[in-house]
């Protein structure tokens, strides 16, 4: 019903209201809805440059739009560009990834330690090693190695090593650092804090080196080779084929060198007396990389989200420990005299395994991107790649 002039202000007002309702499609004529009027000059919303499936991350790498996912092939020369999106490209396949908490993750286990110091280091810290009276950190993006005094929790030296240092180990009176963007293993003299040698190991000098049996050991991932180095002469004395999978981590344990394949997860054991592979242990469930030794066992991290315990006396799997939901393993595992510690990558946690029960019994929050870990001086030391820090954790319980 249309009211009189005194109530609506005249027929012109009624027509105006009627016209507006038609314009916005609020009423229809003869059962046909009138579509809203759209100004043709109004620009349409722009579509994204590339649509990625769930679980993938849109990125622009070298001017090209990509959908990134952990484990896919990548070009190592663009490693630092992948960093913008939380990934690493050290062995030809992406590792890491953006922080993405699971939607239904249970609450974390009770705390098993507390952070007692946060130590700023150079850009992009990765691996951590304890020895020679100090804590040593490979600063991947800073092209340096930081030396931390555990008495003061201060960086007392920064040693340039160039070529994106990644893995680090202490042995034979020296600090050994892999050059992820180079072809060699750098040697640092802890007495002088100077780089004294770079031994050419191959085009893909990846992962953490190891020392044992009078030698230093490194990996050439592209050739699937374990490289043996005479530390007295600083030269390669053997190249041992450990294929078919690309190796991704080594440890010297129980008189042998142990490593794992990045794709198939097979663990191999090399006898230094013969320089030959003498055992292979299939883990299953995808690739594996970091390895550590302690408490009479070899411990290997699987990218599927578990830790495998191997008995070196039998070369058999003694236990498989599933990590807590959301504990996506990174590149760090270390063993103390009473526990096993695993970095949780982008979950931002350090997880503790009880070797008596072979179960996770707690965790500690250690920043946004926990990567490297080692134990010493009564503490656990964890690098945070994104925040550029090393966390010192005092174990509890």
Are residues 74 and 143 part of one domain?
A: no
Instruction: Determine the pLDDT at residue 390.
Output: 96
| Alpha-carbon gap, residue 19 to 32, rounded angstroms | 15
Q: Which whole number is the average pLDDT over 95-102?
A: 66
Candidates 152, 191, 126; CA nearest to 370 is 126
Please check whether residue 180 lies inside any domain of the structure.
Answer: yes
Q: Is the pLDDT of residue 16 over 80?
A: no
pLDDT band at 216 (very low <50, low <70, confident <90, very high): very high
Return the half-sphere exposure (C-beta side, CA atoms, 13 A cut-off) of residue 174.
24
Are residues 284 and 209 part of one domain?
A: yes
Instruction: Determine the pLDDT at residue 56.
Output: 86
Are residues 367 and 287 part of one domain?
A: yes
Q: What is the average pLDDT value for the chain, to the nearest integer?
A: 84
- 350: its two tokens: 């350090």
Please check whether residue 103 lies inside any domain of the structure.
Answer: no
pLDDT band at 324 (very low <50, low <70, confident <90, very high): low
Instruction: Determine the pLDDT at residue 150.
Output: 98
Count up the domains in the chain and report the number.
Answer: 2
Are residues 118 and 91 part of one domain?
A: no
Are residues 75 and 212 part of one domain?
A: no
Q: Which of 9-23, 96-110, 145-159, 250-264 has the lowest mean pLDDT?
A: 9-23
Q: What pLDDT, in 10s, does the model give residues 119-171? A: 999 998 999 999 999 999 999 999 999 999 999 999 999 999 988 899 999 99
Range of the domain at 388: 114-395
Residues 6+ apart with CB under 8 A from 262: 91, 93, 221, 245, 246, 247, 248, 287, 288, 289
Q: What pLDDT, in 10s, does the model give residues 115-124? A: 999 999 999 8
Asked if 145 and 178 touch (Cβ cutoff 8 Å), the reply is no
182 to each of 236, 369, 382, 390, how far by Cα in Å? 16, 24, 25, 25
Are residues 305 and 364 part of one domain?
A: yes
- 246: its two tokens: 């690309």
pLDDT band at 71 (very low <50, low <70, confident <90, very high): confident
Please check whether residue 105 lies inside any domain of the structure.
Answer: no
Please check whether residue 19 lies inside any domain of the structure.
Answer: no
Instruction: Determine the pLDDT at residue 13.
Output: 43
Are residues 338 and 194 part of one domain?
A: yes
Are residues 229 and 87 part of one domain?
A: no
Candidates 348, 85, 332; CA nearest to 74 is 85
Please check whether residue 8 lies inside any domain of the structure.
Answer: no
For 147, phi then psi, to 5°, come to -110, 125
> Which residues, in sequence order, are bridge partners of residue 276?
271
Please check whether residue 272 lies inside any domain of the structure.
Answer: yes
Please check whether residue 346 lies inside any domain of the structure.
Answer: yes
pLDDT band at 28 (very low <50, low <70, confident <90, very high): very low
Q: What is the CATH number of the domain that holds 260?
A: 2.130.10.10
Helical residues (DSSP H) of 247-291, grouped into ranges: none
Q: Is the pLDDT of residue 34 over 50?
A: no
- 317: its two tokens: 């799997």
Asked if 92 and 100 touch (Cβ cutoff 8 Å), the reply is no
Using the 8-state DSSP alphabet, how is residue 303 labeled?
A: T
Are residues 90 and 119 part of one domain?
A: no
pLDDT band at 100 (very low <50, low <70, confident <90, very high): low
| Alpha-carbon gap, residue 90 to 76, rounded angstroms | 6
* 55 compared with 315, residue with greater pLDDT: 315
Please check whether residue 44 lies inside any domain of the structure.
Answer: no
Instruction: Determine the pLDDT at residue 17.
Output: 40
Are residues 92 and 230 part of one domain?
A: no
Instruction: Determine the pLDDT at residue 204.
Output: 78
Q: What pLDDT, in 10s, does the model give residues 289-316? A: 778 999 999 999 887 788 999 999 999 9
- Other beta carbons within 10 Å of 11: 10
Are residues 332 and 380 part of one domain?
A: yes
Q: Is the pLDDT of residue 36 over 80?
A: no
Are residues 282 and 149 part of one domain?
A: yes
* 252 compared with 92, residue with greater pLDDT: 252
């Amino acid at each position: 019903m249309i009211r009189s002039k005194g109530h609506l202000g005249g027929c012109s007002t009624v027509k105006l209201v009627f016209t507006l309702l038609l314009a916005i499609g609020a009423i229809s004529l003869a059962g046909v809805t009138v579509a809203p009027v759209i100004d043709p000059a109004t620009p349409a919303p722009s579509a994204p440059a590339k649509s990625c499936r769930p679980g993938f991350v849109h990125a622009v790498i070298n001017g090209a739009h990509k959908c990134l996912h952990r484990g896919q092939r990548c070009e190592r020369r663009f490693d630092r560009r992948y960093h913008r999106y939380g990934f690493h490209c050290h062995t030809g396949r992406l590792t890491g990834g953006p922080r993405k908490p699971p939607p239904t993750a249970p609450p974390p286990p009770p705390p098993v330690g507390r952070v007692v110091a946060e130590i700023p280091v150079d850009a992009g810290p990765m691996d951590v090693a304890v020895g020679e009276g100090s804590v040593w950190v490979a600063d991947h993006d800073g092209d340096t190695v930081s030396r931390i005094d555990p008495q003061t929790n201060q960086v007392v030296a920064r040693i340039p090593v160039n070529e994106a240092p990644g893995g680090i180990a202490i042995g034979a009176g020296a600090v050994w650092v892999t050059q992820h963007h180079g072809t060699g293993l750098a040697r640092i003299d802890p007495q002088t804090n100077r780089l004294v040698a770079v031994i050419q190991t191959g085009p893909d000098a990846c992962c953490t080196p190891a020392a044992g049996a009078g030698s230093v050991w490194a990996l050439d991932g592209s050739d699937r080779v374990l490289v043996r180095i005479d530390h007295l002469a600083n030269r390669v004395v053997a190249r041992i084929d450990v294929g078919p999978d690309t190796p991704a981590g080594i440890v010297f344990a129980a008189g042998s060198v142990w490593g794992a394949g990045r794709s198939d997860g097979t663990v191999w054991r090399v006898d230094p007396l013969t320089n030959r592979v003498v055992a292979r242990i299939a883990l299953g469930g995808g690739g594996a990389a970091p390895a550590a030794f302690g408490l009479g066992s070899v411990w290997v991290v699987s990218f599927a989200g578990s830790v495998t315990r191997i008995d070196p006396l039998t070369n058999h799997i003694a236990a498989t420990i599933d990590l807590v939901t959301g504990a996506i393993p990174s590149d760090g595992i270390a063993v103390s005299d009473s526990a096993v510690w695993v970095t949780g990558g982008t979950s931002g946690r350090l997880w503790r395994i009880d070797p008596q029960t072979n179960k996770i019994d707690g965790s500690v929050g250690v920043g946004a991107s926990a990567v490297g870990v080692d134990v010493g001086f009564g503490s656990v030391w964890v690098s945070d790649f994104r925040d550029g820090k090393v966390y010192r954790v005092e174990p509890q319980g």
